[in-house]
Amino acid sequence: MLDFAHQNLPIVLLVDDDMVSREVMATMLTMSGYQVHTADDGEAALELLASGACVPGVILMDVQMPGLSGVALIQQLRARSQARLYVVSASGAPDEIAAAADGFLLKPFAPEAVTRLIEEHLAQSRPAKVPGLDPNETAVNPKTLARLREMMPDTGVRQIFEAIIADLGRRTNALEAAIAKPDWKEARRIGHSIKGGAAMAGAEQVARIGAMIESGALEPRAGVNQVDNSSMFIDDLRAAANNLQRILEAEIKA
Protein backbone atom coordinates (compact mmCIF):
# COMPACT_ATOMS: atom_id res chain seq x y z
CA MET A 1 0.00 0.00 0.00
CA LEU A 2 1.04 3.57 -0.45
CA ASP A 3 3.08 5.02 2.38
CA PHE A 4 2.95 8.73 3.15
CA ALA A 5 5.96 9.20 5.38
CA HIS A 6 6.43 12.95 5.11
CA GLN A 7 3.65 15.54 4.90
CA ASN A 8 1.45 13.20 2.86
CA LEU A 9 4.00 13.19 0.02
CA PRO A 10 4.24 10.08 -2.15
CA ILE A 11 7.12 7.64 -2.12
CA VAL A 12 9.50 8.20 -5.05
CA LEU A 13 11.34 5.50 -6.99
CA LEU A 14 14.35 6.99 -8.78
CA VAL A 15 15.89 4.95 -11.63
CA ASP A 16 19.18 6.22 -13.06
CA ASP A 17 22.38 4.39 -14.03
CA ASP A 18 24.56 7.45 -13.36
CA MET A 19 25.56 7.34 -9.69
CA VAL A 20 26.22 11.07 -9.35
CA SER A 21 22.92 12.09 -10.94
CA ARG A 22 21.08 9.50 -8.91
CA GLU A 23 22.57 10.60 -5.58
CA VAL A 24 22.08 14.31 -6.26
CA MET A 25 18.42 13.84 -7.20
CA ALA A 26 17.81 11.49 -4.27
CA THR A 27 19.37 13.96 -1.85
CA MET A 28 17.38 16.96 -3.04
CA LEU A 29 14.12 14.99 -3.03
CA THR A 30 14.81 13.71 0.48
CA MET A 31 15.55 17.24 1.65
CA SER A 32 12.23 18.32 0.14
CA GLY A 33 10.39 15.78 2.30
CA TYR A 34 10.09 12.78 -0.02
CA GLN A 35 10.90 9.20 0.91
CA VAL A 36 13.13 7.97 -1.93
CA HIS A 37 14.13 4.51 -3.15
CA THR A 38 16.78 4.20 -5.87
CA ALA A 39 17.64 1.69 -8.58
CA ASP A 40 20.67 1.80 -10.87
CA ASP A 41 18.96 0.22 -13.89
CA GLY A 42 15.62 -0.96 -15.19
CA GLU A 43 15.95 -4.55 -14.00
CA ALA A 44 16.79 -3.43 -10.48
CA ALA A 45 13.72 -1.17 -10.49
CA LEU A 46 11.45 -4.05 -11.55
CA GLU A 47 12.93 -6.32 -8.87
CA LEU A 48 12.33 -3.64 -6.24
CA LEU A 49 8.68 -3.34 -7.26
CA ALA A 50 8.22 -7.10 -7.41
CA SER A 51 9.63 -7.52 -3.90
CA GLY A 52 7.08 -5.14 -2.43
CA ALA A 53 9.86 -3.23 -0.69
CA CYS A 54 8.83 -0.07 -2.55
CA VAL A 55 5.29 0.90 -3.57
CA PRO A 56 5.86 4.32 -5.13
CA GLY A 57 3.42 7.07 -5.93
CA VAL A 58 5.93 8.57 -8.36
CA ILE A 59 8.67 7.05 -10.55
CA LEU A 60 11.49 9.18 -11.99
CA MET A 61 13.54 7.36 -14.64
CA ASP A 62 16.45 8.30 -16.86
CA VAL A 63 15.70 8.21 -20.58
CA GLN A 64 18.79 6.26 -21.69
CA MET A 65 20.26 3.43 -19.62
CA PRO A 66 22.07 0.19 -20.45
CA GLY A 67 19.83 -2.85 -20.74
CA LEU A 68 16.09 -2.44 -20.27
CA SER A 69 15.28 1.22 -20.91
CA GLY A 70 13.06 3.68 -22.80
CA VAL A 71 9.52 2.76 -23.79
CA ALA A 72 10.06 -0.92 -22.99
CA LEU A 73 10.97 -0.07 -19.39
CA ILE A 74 8.06 2.36 -19.09
CA GLN A 75 5.68 -0.40 -20.16
CA GLN A 76 7.17 -2.84 -17.66
CA LEU A 77 6.99 -0.30 -14.84
CA ARG A 78 3.39 0.57 -15.65
CA ALA A 79 2.48 -3.13 -15.61
CA ARG A 80 3.76 -3.35 -12.02
CA SER A 81 2.83 0.03 -10.58
CA GLN A 82 0.09 2.66 -10.66
CA ALA A 83 2.61 5.44 -9.96
CA ARG A 84 2.94 8.60 -12.02
CA LEU A 85 6.00 8.21 -14.24
CA TYR A 86 8.32 11.04 -15.31
CA VAL A 87 11.43 10.77 -17.48
CA VAL A 88 14.56 12.83 -16.82
CA SER A 89 17.43 13.44 -19.24
CA ALA A 90 20.31 15.78 -20.06
CA SER A 91 18.91 16.00 -23.60
CA GLY A 92 15.43 16.03 -25.08
CA ALA A 93 13.26 12.93 -24.82
CA PRO A 94 12.33 11.11 -28.05
CA ASP A 95 8.71 11.61 -29.02
CA GLU A 96 7.71 8.01 -28.28
CA ILE A 97 9.17 8.21 -24.76
CA ALA A 98 7.61 11.59 -24.06
CA ALA A 99 4.25 10.20 -25.19
CA ALA A 100 4.57 7.13 -22.97
CA ALA A 101 5.52 9.09 -19.82
CA ASP A 102 3.46 11.48 -17.69
CA GLY A 103 6.03 14.27 -17.87
CA PHE A 104 9.64 15.23 -18.57
CA LEU A 105 12.47 17.07 -16.75
CA LEU A 106 15.65 18.31 -18.39
CA LYS A 107 18.87 17.87 -16.40
CA PRO A 108 20.10 19.86 -14.56
CA PHE A 109 17.05 21.17 -12.76
CA ALA A 110 16.33 22.85 -9.46
CA PRO A 111 14.71 20.88 -6.62
CA GLU A 112 11.60 23.01 -6.96
CA ALA A 113 11.15 21.79 -10.55
CA VAL A 114 10.87 18.19 -9.36
CA THR A 115 8.52 18.89 -6.51
CA ARG A 116 6.42 21.27 -8.60
CA LEU A 117 6.00 18.72 -11.41
CA ILE A 118 5.12 15.95 -8.98
CA GLU A 119 2.71 18.05 -6.96
CA GLU A 120 0.98 19.53 -10.02
CA HIS A 121 0.40 16.14 -11.57
CA LEU A 122 -0.67 14.56 -8.29
CA ALA A 123 -3.19 17.34 -7.79
CA GLN A 124 -4.58 16.73 -11.29
CA SER A 125 -4.77 12.95 -10.89
CA ARG A 126 -5.89 12.77 -7.27
CA PRO A 127 -9.25 10.98 -7.10
CA ALA A 128 -11.83 12.22 -4.68
CA LYS A 129 -11.99 10.31 -1.43
CA VAL A 130 -14.93 8.07 -0.92
CA PRO A 131 -17.51 10.11 0.99
CA GLY A 132 -19.07 8.84 4.17
CA LEU A 133 -22.61 7.58 4.02
CA ASP A 134 -25.14 10.15 2.94
CA PRO A 135 -27.81 10.31 5.66
CA ASN A 136 -30.39 10.93 2.94
CA GLU A 137 -29.37 7.90 0.87
CA THR A 138 -31.96 5.15 0.53
CA ALA A 139 -30.80 2.13 2.50
CA VAL A 140 -33.52 -0.18 1.16
CA ASN A 141 -35.47 0.34 -2.04
CA PRO A 142 -39.11 0.70 -0.89
CA LYS A 143 -40.51 -0.87 -4.06
CA THR A 144 -38.31 -3.94 -3.67
CA LEU A 145 -39.25 -4.22 -0.01
CA ALA A 146 -42.96 -3.95 -0.91
CA ARG A 147 -42.60 -6.72 -3.50
CA LEU A 148 -40.89 -8.97 -0.98
CA ARG A 149 -43.70 -8.40 1.51
CA GLU A 150 -46.27 -9.26 -1.16
CA MET A 151 -44.45 -12.52 -1.89
CA MET A 152 -43.99 -13.73 1.68
CA PRO A 153 -44.94 -13.03 5.28
CA ASP A 154 -42.91 -10.52 7.27
CA THR A 155 -41.13 -13.35 9.07
CA GLY A 156 -39.70 -14.49 5.75
CA VAL A 157 -38.65 -10.95 4.76
CA ARG A 158 -37.02 -10.53 8.16
CA GLN A 159 -35.07 -13.75 7.69
CA ILE A 160 -33.75 -12.48 4.34
CA PHE A 161 -32.48 -9.23 5.83
CA GLU A 162 -31.08 -10.94 8.92
CA ALA A 163 -29.13 -13.22 6.58
CA ILE A 164 -27.85 -10.22 4.60
CA ILE A 165 -26.71 -8.45 7.78
CA ALA A 166 -24.95 -11.56 9.09
CA ASP A 167 -23.31 -12.22 5.73
CA LEU A 168 -22.22 -8.59 5.49
CA GLY A 169 -20.49 -8.90 8.86
CA ARG A 170 -18.56 -11.97 7.69
CA ARG A 171 -17.62 -10.41 4.37
CA THR A 172 -16.50 -7.18 6.01
CA ASN A 173 -14.13 -9.18 8.22
CA ALA A 174 -12.90 -11.09 5.16
CA LEU A 175 -12.39 -7.79 3.34
CA GLU A 176 -10.25 -6.46 6.19
CA ALA A 177 -8.10 -9.61 5.95
CA ALA A 178 -7.75 -9.19 2.16
CA ILE A 179 -6.70 -5.54 2.59
CA ALA A 180 -4.11 -6.49 5.20
CA LYS A 181 -2.34 -8.98 2.89
CA PRO A 182 -2.96 -7.05 0.49
CA ASP A 183 -4.97 -9.22 -1.92
CA TRP A 184 -6.86 -6.88 -4.26
CA LYS A 185 -8.25 -9.70 -6.41
CA GLU A 186 -9.92 -11.17 -3.34
CA ALA A 187 -11.13 -7.71 -2.26
CA ARG A 188 -12.79 -7.24 -5.66
CA ARG A 189 -14.40 -10.69 -5.37
CA ILE A 190 -15.77 -9.83 -1.94
CA GLY A 191 -17.11 -6.53 -3.29
CA HIS A 192 -18.86 -8.41 -6.09
CA SER A 193 -20.50 -10.78 -3.60
CA ILE A 194 -21.61 -7.95 -1.34
CA LYS A 195 -23.11 -6.10 -4.30
CA GLY A 196 -24.93 -9.11 -5.69
CA GLY A 197 -26.65 -10.26 -2.51
CA ALA A 198 -27.62 -6.78 -1.40
CA ALA A 199 -28.95 -5.74 -4.81
CA MET A 200 -31.29 -8.74 -4.94
CA ALA A 201 -32.96 -7.61 -1.70
CA GLY A 202 -32.97 -3.91 -2.61
CA ALA A 203 -30.32 -2.98 -0.03
CA GLU A 204 -29.11 -0.14 -2.25
CA GLN A 205 -26.64 1.45 0.15
CA VAL A 206 -24.76 -1.80 0.73
CA ALA A 207 -24.91 -2.67 -2.97
CA ARG A 208 -23.40 0.69 -3.92
CA ILE A 209 -20.44 0.22 -1.57
CA GLY A 210 -19.94 -3.34 -2.83
CA ALA A 211 -19.91 -2.11 -6.42
CA MET A 212 -17.24 0.47 -5.61
CA ILE A 213 -15.06 -2.18 -3.97
CA GLU A 214 -15.56 -4.47 -6.97
CA SER A 215 -14.43 -1.65 -9.28
CA GLY A 216 -11.07 -1.42 -7.48
CA ALA A 217 -11.74 1.76 -5.48
CA LEU A 218 -9.88 0.27 -2.51
CA GLU A 219 -6.63 -0.24 -4.40
CA PRO A 220 -3.52 1.94 -4.03
CA ARG A 221 -3.20 4.92 -6.33
CA ALA A 222 -1.04 8.00 -6.39
CA GLY A 223 -2.10 10.83 -4.14
CA VAL A 224 -4.49 8.83 -1.94
CA ASN A 225 -3.69 7.53 1.53
CA GLN A 226 -4.73 3.93 0.99
CA VAL A 227 -4.90 3.18 4.73
CA ASP A 228 -7.44 5.95 5.33
CA ASN A 229 -9.32 5.04 2.15
CA SER A 230 -9.67 1.38 3.20
CA SER A 231 -10.79 2.36 6.69
CA MET A 232 -13.52 4.55 5.22
CA PHE A 233 -14.91 1.65 3.19
CA ILE A 234 -14.88 -0.70 6.19
CA ASP A 235 -16.56 1.94 8.38
CA ASP A 236 -19.18 2.60 5.69
CA LEU A 237 -19.98 -1.10 5.33
CA ARG A 238 -20.51 -1.45 9.07
CA ALA A 239 -22.60 1.72 9.19
CA ALA A 240 -24.70 0.43 6.28
CA ALA A 241 -25.23 -2.86 8.15
CA ASN A 242 -26.41 -0.89 11.18
CA ASN A 243 -28.82 1.04 8.97
CA LEU A 244 -30.28 -2.23 7.71
CA GLN A 245 -30.66 -3.45 11.28
CA ARG A 246 -32.52 -0.27 12.28
CA ILE A 247 -34.88 -0.64 9.32
CA LEU A 248 -35.43 -4.26 10.24
CA GLU A 249 -36.39 -3.32 13.80
CA ALA A 250 -38.61 -0.41 12.75
CA GLU A 251 -40.34 -1.80 9.68
CA ILE A 252 -40.41 -5.59 9.94
CA LYS A 253 -41.47 -6.87 13.29
CA ALA A 254 -40.32 -10.25 14.57
Same domain, 121 and 147: no
Query: Looking at the predicted structure, is the pLDDT value of residue 1 above 50?
Result: no
Choose one of 96, 125, 154: the last residue of a domain. Answer: 125
Q: Distance between CA atoms of 171 and 202, rounded to whole angstroms?
A: 18
Query: Looking at the predicted structure, is the pLDDT value of residue 128 above 50?
Result: no
Query: Looking at the predicted structure, is the pLDDT value of residue 175 above 90?
Result: yes
Q: In the prediction, which pLDDT does 218 show? A: 80
130-143 per-position pLDDT tens digit: 446 676 778 888 88
Domain count, the chain: 2
Residue 116: give the domain boundaries: 12-125
Q: In the prediction, which pLDDT does 140 show? A: 87
Query: Do 57 and 83 contact (CB within 8 A), yes or no?
Result: yes
Same domain, 150 and 95: no
Same domain, 147 and 117: no
8 vs 229 pLDDT, higher one: 229
**Nearest in space to 8 (alpha carbons), one of 246, 222, 244, 243:** 222
Same domain, 114 and 160: no
